[in-house]
Amino acid sequence: MLVITRANETLAAEADDAVVEPEQLRRATLASSVGSALEYYDFYIYGLASALIFGPLFFSPLGPDGALIASFATYGVGFAARPFGGLIFGYIGDRFGRKMVLILTIALMGTASFAIGLLPTFEQAGMLGAVLLVTLRIIQGLGAGAEQAGATTLISEVAPRRRRGFFASLPFVGIQLGTLLGAGTFALITMADKSVLQGWLWRVPFLASFILIAVAIFIRLKLKETPAFQELEKHKNVVKNPIGALWKHSKKNVLLGIGLRMGENGNSSIYSALLVSFMSMPAGVFAGNNSIGPVGLLIAAGFAAVMVVTFGALSDRFGRVPVYRYGALFQAIIAVPAFYLVTLGNVTLVWVVMAVGIAIGVQSMLGPQCPLLPELFGSQYRFTGVAMSREISAVLAGGLAPLLGALMLAATNHSWLVLAIYSLVLALISFVTTFFTPETAGRDLVSTEDAK
């Protein structure tokens, strides 16, 4: 009897694994990956530009510290816009389908990034350039607010149930590709003469985003709708107000998603933007050297591309929550020693710190998070739930981290302890949240019920 039961379970699992055609799974993975690459290419070039270039270009009258704070404020504005983008496009995704949103968000986000490369600087047009920069950053944030939610929802609803962690993390290799492109581009252009860099060369990374936009839209036009949404349409279960349904039934799971993201998203911003700025500040250990940070991000992204999939696959084997919990704990443990090592002035140590913090600390949370967030919510408002969890946390953690960090650094005479304590606190928030999070591995995503 036991053998027959196990055989039936195996056949059921194999049937579940055959929900979509292999071609559809490949196309969905590619479409999500290219979108992730564009989002994080934009994310990193804007973050690095905020840390290294935008201050003197658009806010020079405010002085070095004031210009940096204003520059990071525009960075934070983009994150502030993301929940609104998540609401708007989450509604569209749950009401009219996942595919439509993925086309709209990539076009909006990419066009805004391209336009940033055309902006006049303070020297050319006074504060007009800064106003336009903020406006475009808001538009960019609106598109980005649903891009990752759409990608992770799409691939999770298409992927085989038993290997959902592996497949759901594959598009996030696109994040590392975007990081490699963004950090690599900046590592090259920051080697140029300062007058050339601030004259016209800084525009090139933003203008180049047009290529990724075209490729992503072309691929996404060929996507099919996911099985979960097709089932909703087939049985006329599409809700007219997914936002209202989410807040009625899933407030707890949204809060869990936000808590889980604090350590991952916050530390991603600390390592990729705030740490880079800290090292190159006039009082920093590598004052005036703008290439060390981008090169470190380049190295870290190479390792992270492998590790995010590794941790995603581990969550299939050991569960989402245990992998996430120990990843958050690891990030907390390394916080103080990692940022102390940066102050020693050894370039190799800096690169090791960035690689360990991003490739292991951040990815050990991001890997299981890829399938976990979609698995938390029922199919009727899944897109909106993932978007809200991701984007509210993106404001609280990712968007505010560089701005608050810059303010605290200025107030503490650029003490490295600011970075260490900030990283530690965010990681501990995620660690504690895992004890309230249900295990979701293997859930049926056609279900309209939330994980409990």
Q: Where are the domains of the chain?
A: 27-436
C-alpha dihedral sign at 383, 180, 304, 283? negative
Q: Specify which of 33-42, 248-257, 290-299 reaches the highest per-range mean pLDDT.
A: 248-257
Measured CA to CA, the distance from residue 196 to residue 383 in angstroms comes to 44
For the chain, state the CA radius of gyration. 21
Instruction: Give the mean model confidence (pLDDT) for residues 66-93.
Output: 83
Residue pair 377/300 in contact (Cβ under 8 Å)? The answer is no
Measured CA to CA, the distance from residue 231 to residue 352 in angstroms comes to 47
Is the per-residue pLDDT at 216 higher than 70?
A: yes
pLDDT digits (tens, 9 = 90+) for 413-428: 778 888 899 999 999 9
User: What local confidence, expressed as pLDDT, does residue 287 receive?
Assistant: 66
Measured CA to CA, the distance from residue 185 to residue 282 in angstroms comes to 23
Is the per-residue pLDDT at 1 higher than 90?
A: no
3-state secondary structure of 437: coil
Torsion of CA 47, 50, 51, 56, to 10 degrees: 160
The structure tokens listed for 322 are: 């245990």
Per DSSP, the residues of 49-100 read HHHHTHHHHH-GGGHHHHHHHHHHHHHHHHHHHHHHHHHHHHHHHHHH-HHH
Comparing 309 with 181, the larger pLDDT belongs to 309
End-to-end CA distance of the chain: 31
Measured CA to CA, the distance from residue 180 to residue 242 in angstroms comes to 36
Instruction: Give the mean model confidence (pLDDT) for residues 184-212.
Output: 77
Instruction: Say if domain 27-436 classifies as CATH 1.20.1250.20.
Output: yes
3-state secondary structure of 415: coil
User: What local confidence, expressed as pLDDT, does residue 285 receive?
Assistant: 67
User: pTM for this one?
Assistant: 0.81
Comparing 143 with 346, the larger pLDDT belongs to 346
Per DSSP, the residues of 6-56 read HHHHHHHHHHHHTSS-HHHHHHHHHHHHHHHHHHHHHHHHHHHHHHHTHHH
Comparing 49 with 357, the larger pLDDT belongs to 357
Residue pair 101/93 in contact (Cβ under 8 Å)? The answer is yes
Using the 8-state DSSP alphabet, how is residue 192 labeled? S
Band of pLDDT at residue 75, cut at 50, 70 and 90? confident
User: What local confidence, expressed as pLDDT, does residue 358 receive?
Assistant: 94
User: What local confidence, expressed as pLDDT, does residue 220 receive?
Assistant: 82
Instruction: Give the mean model confidence (pLDDT) for residues 329-358.
Output: 93
Percent of residues, the chain, with pLDDT higher than 90: 30
Q: Would you tell me the crossing angle of helices 382-393 and 63-96 to the nearest 10 degrees?
A: 170
Percent of residues, the chain, with pLDDT higher than 70: 92
pLDDT digits (tens, 9 = 90+) for 239-283: 888 989 998 999 999 999 999 999 999 999 888 878 887 777 655
- Buried-state track 104-113, b at ≥16 Cβ within 10 A, e below 16: bbbebbbbbb
Q: Distance between alpha carbon 170 and the CA centroid of its chain, in Å?
A: 14
pLDDT digits (tens, 9 = 90+) for 99-146: 888 888 888 888 888 898 898 888 888 789 888 988 888 888 888 777
pLDDT digits (tens, 9 = 90+) for 301-339: 889 989 999 999 999 999 999 999 999 999 999 999 999
User: Which residues have CB under 8 Å from 327's CB, separation 6+?
Assistant: 311, 360, 361, 363, 364, 365, 367, 368
Among candidates 193, 200, 41, which has minimal Cα distance to 120?
200
Type and span of the H or E element at 422: helix 417-433
User: What local confidence, expressed as pLDDT, does residue 164 receive?
Assistant: 94
